[in-house]
A = this chain, B = another copy of it.
Amino acid sequence: MDISYIKKIGFFGVGLMGGSLVKALKKECPHYFISGYARSKKSYDRLIKADILDEVEIDYKKVVKNADVVVLSLPVNIIIDFLKKISPFLKKGAIVFDLGSSKKEIESAALKYLSKNVNFVPCHPLCGKERGGVEFSSDSLYQKTVCIITSPLKSKAVLTVKELWLKVGAEVFFMDSVTHDKILSKVSHLPHLISFALTKLVPADYLKYSAGSFKDLTRISNSAPQIWTDILFSNKKNILKDLNEFIEVLKEFESLIEKNEKEKVSDLIELVNAKQKLII
């Protein structure tokens, strides 16, 4: 795929994820002119200090102007706000892609707000860190990770965005947004809810006795409230279904323990051992 025509990229959201993408793209393609949006004076100062952008703008129209590619690395709800805001100012033929964690709602908003001569490519890189902010961004965040593009169609725009993800080291998978939201509910959204619930349950004065297992399960309890409230509500139907299924599995263990079914519990753990080994 020839992507040499790209000259300017506009970024909305230059935190951990966006900032890491800026750094990785700058490393691979130093000739890109990257403009980033600052939503406040504080954010402006932070981005100037981070010194990774060619231009920091508080006027979003200037970030979008003449951009070949526009990247939205924001919480789901705010991605939807910006799709609406930037739409009238996008260059004809521009590619817009997002990094949102649930896709169906964003896809619907893009269909509603963007004009036909603009290409929207919904993306979801499966990585992150517990600590957000441009200060924790790194040019290697996407190395050896997976990025899902929720477009089964491989248009020129989709292949261009794929090429950008390959450049920063990610492996790319394609699927539709409904499948994406179903899978991500189980492998990411439900795990976060479980972690939140476990941390809520355990009394503060027990925490000094936390062994590795508890630390593993509660690490993501540090995730940002706004981002995760957004994700949970934007994928509500799948999450409620999976929560129920998960409670059923817990009850299955509960019933086996109540009935002293040692062998069946041991068999279940063996089955789980084998499946765990498939997780890369």
A residues whose Cβ falls under 8 Å from a Cβ of B: 126-129, 146, 148, 173, 183-184, 186-188, 190-204, 206-226, 228-229, 232-233, 236, 239-240, 242-247, 249-254, 257-258, 260, 262, 265-273, 275-280
Contact = CB atoms under 8 A, between A and B. Distances in A.
Given A193-B250, A236-B257, A276 B202 contact: no
19 contacts: A128-B212, A183-B206, A183-B209, A188-B213, A196-B253, A199-B276, A200-B249, A200-B272, A201-B242, A201-B245, A201-B249, A207-B279, A210-B280, A221-B275, A224-B269, A225-B267, A225-B273, A240-B257, A247-B247
A194 to B, nearest CB: 6
Nearest to A215: B279
Nearest to A77: B262
A270 B202 contact: no
A93 to B, nearest CB: 31
A44 to B, nearest CB: 26
B213 A192 contact: yes
Given A198-B190, A270-B225, A275 B207 contact: yes
Given A222-B273, A250-B247, A198 B194 contact: yes
- The dominant DSSP class at the A interface is helix
Given A200-B249, A233-B265, 19 more contacts: A126-B209, A146-B208, A191-B216, A193-B250, A193-B253, A195-B213, A197-B246, A199-B275, A201-B242, A201-B249, A207-B275, A221-B273, A225-B269, A225-B273, A229-B266, A240-B258, A243-B254, A244-B254, A246-B250
A99 to B, nearest CB: 13
Copies per complex?
2
Contact of A186 (B192, B201, B249): B201
B197 A228 contact: no
